[in-house]
Amino acid sequence: MTFPVVGMVGGGQLARMTHEAGIPLGIRFKILSDTPQDSAARVVPDVTVGDYRDLETLRAFAAGCDVITFDHEHVPTEHLRALEADGIVVRPGPDALVHAQDKGVMRERLARIGAPCPRNRIVASPADVAAFAAEVGGFPVVLKTVRGGYDGKGVWIARSAEDAEEPFRAGVPVLAEEKVAFVRELAANVVRSPHGQAVAYPVVESVQVNGVCDTVIAPAPDLSDELSGQAQALALTIARELGVVGHLAVELFETTDGRILVNELAMRPHNSGHWTMDGAVTSQFANHLRAVLDLPLGDPRPRARWTVMANVLGGDYPDMYPAYLHCMARDPGLKIHMYGKDVKPGRKVGHVNTFGDDLADVRERAHHAAGYLRGTIDE
């Protein structure tokens, strides 16, 4: 066979769904997984179990692949540079990926290309935080570890200098940002190939609960054409200027004064794009694979007027199967995606997609299914 081999570092649900998208493309897919019990390791035939932080493990895994990509951003940047020096194709490359790995690097580069961001600064102590707060109008301010945070981890709201002590206990650099007055959070998802072709999905509204994505509505309701176009153009510009290859999610604030500001970047398939599995002509996972292989990109247009994605979190009932059967029977149009994970309270174990012409109905169906699966709804 001459079809290429894609190696994905990480064995989580993003790798699982990327593998699924690659099956009809005819590619061969390998993963480097932390354990045999990881979400993707349960379904992908070709699994290497090993530590992505070990360079020799990465080299051995990459040796059998035509391209390396990721389901998380935690691989050390210097290891990726070493792989490239070995002649291994890494997409996105380390010069791009570092902007999703290091928030300080990201903010500095976004400022240079003129992308709108909250005011920010690297701080070294609670006194630095207090000085920054005075410059941006006072407390509260947002503190983030420069590397390693996700799903609300590594993020604090500091309401005083004393409140700012905890982030510094880990001994890692900390980024201070002004606490933005925003109406809602948005996400602009784009995909870019090595030769510069790029596509943009509709801008979505992302609803967070306790720092974790709860619901995504595609497209974002009542978002003006002007602001939607600005968000898509901004995401495409960032992808081009940073040299991104693959999927880029630009998480945004829609501010109370009608602007958009960049919150975070993710250079991989993203939770805000899960709706595309059932709601778009070409999913984010399929387009990510097309991009890293430099294939022509697929159509990103939506299939329905509205699509709503709701994350399924683990609750107090470890056996979701009876609820799963109920949801399928109650709503034959519902699309349920389970990740093969053991159910633990608060853990992402799946998501549901609904679609249709009536937003209120589509949203209710998604929330009912996600709640019933978790056990917070019993009728």
Which residue ranges are tagged as binding site for ATP? 103, 144, 177-180, 185, 263-264
Rounded Cα distance between 371 and 373, Å, is 5
DSSP 28-71: EEEEEESSTTSTGGGT-SEEEE--TT-HHHHHHHHTT-SEEEES
Binding-site entries:
103, 144, 177-180, 185, 263-264
Taking the alpha carbons of 372, 377, 378, 379 in that order, is the dihedral positive or negative? negative
How far apart, in Å, are the Cα atoms of 147 and each of 130, 155, 238, 310, 350? 22, 11, 20, 27, 26
Q: To which residue do tokens 């176009």 refer?
A: 229
The backbone torsions φ and ψ at residue 10, rounded to the nearest 5 degrees and listed phi first, read 120, 140
Rounded distance between C-alpha atoms, residue 111 and residue 114, angstroms: 5
